[in-house]
Amino acid sequence: MKRTSKTIWLAVLLACVLTLGPLPQAARAADANTLTIAYAPEDEAMAGVTFRLYRVADVSRERVSATPVAPYDSYNVLNGSADWLAKASTLAGYISRDGLEADASGVTDETGRLTVPGLPDGMYLILGESQTRDGYTYIPTPFLLFLPNTADGHTWEEHVSTYVKFTRYSNSSPDPTVRRHVLKVWEDDGQEDVRPDSVTVDLLRDGAVYDTVTLSAENNWRHDWTGLEAGVRWQVVERETPGYTVSVNESGITFVVTNTRQDETDITDPDIPLDEKPPEDDLTDIDDPDLPLANLPQTGQLWWPVPLLTIAGVLLLILGAARRRRSAWDEE
């Protein structure tokens, strides 16, 4: 099972480079894929868990690539450079907030398995519902999957099996409240002058907007929520920030919201060849020896003229006194 999953994730990684124009007709194998999900937190199958599948991108078998589809293309998530788990988690927040309909769904059986047949080619986001067992709440980790799947970019597997990771928290904590923290990070090579002055983030309580805060330099781009109800799902989404992709990484009680500056070139531009890196001339590299940099600041007090002025002053005094004395002798 683990081997299959690794294969699947490798394929998802291969799909990292998003692109490009219409999908070739030959690749549109109609509804040929079957996905089997296995959910067994701590090696114990969990039955009755609902999983929802959202087809978020078209895929191309020829180019092992994906193109986001509406309405998911409006979130500026899939074309970013974040890892795929972060993209999945970020998209999950937007889907919860906006109440988007799933393309398919189902419930796990007694073996913790769910099989969904008849899925068209595509990249799917898979979201599962929380479930409580033995005093713990288990939350399936959102993930993205490429259907059909490939390990080598040539051989395609239409029948795909995967297992679902999870996070859990205890329901027996004496504190009935929880705390959540959000931190904004900019990945823009220090282009502070083009950043917005602030961004708006929503805290979602079981998918519904619970609170809205503005993050800016004034609050050091971060915020704490305290006294939140325990036992419910808290998520954070950022409202659209034009010119930046967004990803939300959840770690413990902290949500790191990263905005990455989008290149001026459009990644969906059909003229951009896949996998081709931008010309090196376009990159600003501090190590480039030809890149002119400003001199280091002058951080000294103006002491150097003092000895010069003193020496010159003393010399003039001596010279002047000597002249006066000679003049006095001449007069005598």
Partner 1 sequence: MKNKKGCSLILCGLLLLAAALGLSAYNLWDEYRAAASVESILAQLPAPEATPLPEGMTPDHILAPEMEMPTVAVQELDYIGTLTVPALSLDLPVLSQWSYPNLKVSPCRYAGSAYEDGFVLCAHNYRRHFGGLKDLSIGDTVQFTDVDGNTFDYVVAEIGQLDPDDTREMLSKDWALSLFTCTLGGQFRVTVRCDRAEASSDFV
**Residues near partner 1, by CB under 8 A:** 179, 181, 183, 185-187, 217, 220-222, 249, 251-254, 256, 258, 286-287, 289, 293-307, 309-310, 312-328, 330-331
Q: Specify the residue, 116 or 201, whose C-beta has the smaller distance to partner 1.
A: 201
Q: Specify the residue, 27 or 228, whose C-beta has the smaller distance to partner 1.
A: 228
Q: Specify the residue, 133 or 323, whose C-beta has the smaller distance to partner 1.
A: 323
Task: Yes or no: say if 256 and 249 are a contact pair by the CB < 8 Å rule.
Answer: yes
Nearest-angstrom CA–CA distance, 89 and 87: 5
Task: Give the shortest CB-64-to-partner 1 separation in angstroms.
Answer: 29
β-strand partners of 18? 66
Burial category of 66 from C-beta neighbours within 10 Å (exposed 0-12, middle 13-18, buried 19 and up):
buried
Q: Specify the residue, 263 or 285, whose C-beta has the smaller distance to partner 1.
A: 285
H/E stretch holding 223 reads: strand 222-229
Task: Give the shortest CB-287-to-partner 1 separation in angstroms.
Answer: 8
Task: Give the shortest CB-51-to-partner 1 separation in angstroms.
Answer: 26
Q: What is the largest CA-CA distance in the chain?
A: 129
Q: Which residue has the tokens 């078998």?
A: 61
Task: Give the shortest CB-292-to-partner 1 separation in angstroms.
Answer: 9
Q: Specify the residue, 51 or 166, whose C-beta has the smaller distance to partner 1.
A: 166
Task: Give the shortest CB-194-to-partner 1 separation in angstroms.
Answer: 15
Q: Specify the residue, 108 or 235, whose C-beta has the smaller distance to partner 1.
A: 235
Q: Which residue has the tokens 């009680």?
A: 253
Q: Specify the residue, 59 or 215, whose C-beta has the smaller distance to partner 1.
A: 215
Q: Specify the residue, 208 or 316, whose C-beta has the smaller distance to partner 1.
A: 316
Task: Give the shortest CB-195-to-partner 1 separation in angstroms.
Answer: 10
Task: Give the shortest CB-89-to-partner 1 separation in angstroms.
Answer: 14
Nearest-angstrom CA–CA distance, 85 and 164: 12
Structure token pair of residue 321: 């006194």
Task: Give the shortest CB-325-to-partner 1 separation in angstroms.
Answer: 8
First to last CA, the chain: 119
Nearest-angstrom CA–CA distance, 47 and 157: 26
Nearest CA to 260 among 121, 124, 76, 93?
A: 76
Rg over CA atoms, the chain? 31
Nearest-angstrom CA–CA distance, 267 and 261: 13
Nearest-angstrom CA–CA distance, 256 and 129: 23
Task: Give the shortest CB-127-to-partner 1 separation in angstroms.
Answer: 23
Q: Is 18 helix (H, G, I), strand (E, B) or coil?
A: strand
Nearest CA to 253 among 228, 278, 271?
A: 228
Task: Yes or no: say if 115 and 51 are a contact pair by the CB < 8 Å rule.
Answer: no
Q: Specify the residue, 110 or 218, whose C-beta has the smaller distance to partner 1.
A: 218
